[in-house]
Amino acid sequence: MTDALRLSRIISYFCPPNISKRYTMPISKSRIKLIRSLELKKYRKSEQLFVAEGPKLIDDLLNSVPCRFLIATSAWLNEHPHLPVTDVTEVSEDELSRASLLKTPQQVLGVFEQPERVPDTSVITHSLCLALDGVQDPGNLGTIIRLADWFGIEHIFCSPDTADIYNPKAVQATMGGIARVNVYYLPLPQLIQSLHNVPVYGTFLDGENLYKRPLSDNGLIVMGNEGNGVSSEVEQLVNRKLYIPNYPTGRETSESLNVAMATAVVCAEFRRQAAASRQE
């Protein structure tokens, strides 16, 4: 019997059920290899795992997503004496930096299981949802999920060519929103075609002024690719085209807004109108 196995059995004997087991030892090479491999989509897909780092993000995820294991400093662990995880390793900051995917490690790193989420398109008929058509940058995707979380949008439907939500950069950019916002991947044309008498919005240069158009409490808001916007196939299915005007009208300005910034502007106006209508 190895020393590590003997230690594990001793800890198992003295730890009551449902209390996390806390080991103080170097991170194994195989574990570091696993964490590093999860930077690549093919390994995230085959292992059905993803990496998250930082106190806020980990706290949010532990409440909603199964955690395979945690690696954390004593400072973080002392603030979290009871954890819903059976595999917890205490490490120094130097040890954590060996495993971290960040330039500056943030006290705790977790490897989580990817939740299985089955799309329920009926939510679009009674709530406001987002659709992302070919958004490529993981940072933009994560920021949009963070925005959706802020504005109470719980469902995002992504085209298959949209960035992977479990990309470490996307996960970090959500700032915990990934724990509360459901993200699905499916062909958008088929999704939109299945909707009957449901508002489908999109932003275009030939659309109506966002601030002058009455907006609904339910429906789908389509945001497009960073360089090309909404694809032509999806554009044909959008039944309410919007335009975000610059200020003042006619002034020379930037060519366009970043997709995450545009999403923030659009969602804010939807929620502003909804709040105003409830006060009437």
Q: What is the pLDDT of residues 173-207, one digit of tens each?
A: 999 999 999 999 999 999 999 998 899 999 999 99
CA 177 from centre of chain: 6
Please tell me the predicted confidence (pLDDT) of residue 279: 77
Residue at 216: amino acid letter: S
Sequence-ordered list of residues with C-beta below 8 angstroms from that of 89, at least 6 positions apart, any chain: 22, 23, 24, 25, 27, 69, 70, 71, 72
Average pLDDT, the chain: 90
Contact 21, 87 (CB under 8 A): yes
Contact 244, 263 (CB under 8 A): no
Of the pLDDT bands very low, low, confident and very high (cuts 50, 70, 90), residue 25 is low
Q: What is the pLDDT of residues 245-257, one digit of tens each?
A: 988 777 777 777 9
Q: What is the pLDDT of residues 97-145, one digit of tens each?
A: 999 999 999 999 999 999 998 999 999 999 999 999 999 999 999 999 9
All structural domains of the chain: 17-113 (3.30.1330.30), 121-279 (3.40.1280.10)
φ, ψ for residue 230 (rounded to 5)? -75, 135
Q: From CA 173, how far away is CA 177, in angstroms rounded?
A: 9
Q: What is the pLDDT of residues 54-105, one digit of tens each?
A: 999 999 999 899 999 999 999 999 999 889 999 999 999 999 999 999 999 9
Contact 230, 224 (CB under 8 A): yes
CA 242 from centre of chain: 25
Q: What is the DSSP letter of 104?
A: S
Q: From CA 108, how far away is CA 246, in angstroms rounded?
A: 42
Q: Which two tokens stand for residue 34?
A: 């696993």
Of the pLDDT bands very low, low, confident and very high (cuts 50, 70, 90), residue 17 is very low
200: three-class secondary structure by DSSP: strand
Q: What is the DSSP letter of 27?
A: P
Please tell me the predicted confidence (pLDDT) of residue 249: 74
Using a pLDDT cut of 90, give the percent of the chain over it.
80
Residue labelled with tokens 């929103």: 177
Contact 83, 62 (CB under 8 A): yes
Please tell me the predicted confidence (pLDDT) of residue 51: 98
Measure Cα distances from 265 to 113, 125, 128, 234, 238 in Å. 33, 22, 15, 21, 19
Contact 189, 237 (CB under 8 A): yes
Q: In this model, does residue 11 exceed pLDDT 80?
A: no
Q: What is the DSSP letter of 275?
A: H
Please tell me the predicted confidence (pLDDT) of residue 27: 85
Q: Considering all CA atoms of the chain, what is the largest pairwise distance in Å, rounded to the nearest integer?
A: 77
Q: From CA 151, how far away is CA 187, in angstroms rounded?
A: 25
15: three-class secondary structure by DSSP: coil
Q: From CA 244, how far away is CA 255, in angstroms rounded?
A: 12
Q: In what order do the strands lie in the sheet with 200-209?
A: 182-185, 155-158, 128-133, 219-224, 200-209, 240-243
Contact 88, 22 (CB under 8 A): yes
Q: What is the pLDDT of residues 33-54, one digit of tens each?
A: 999 999 999 999 999 999 999 9
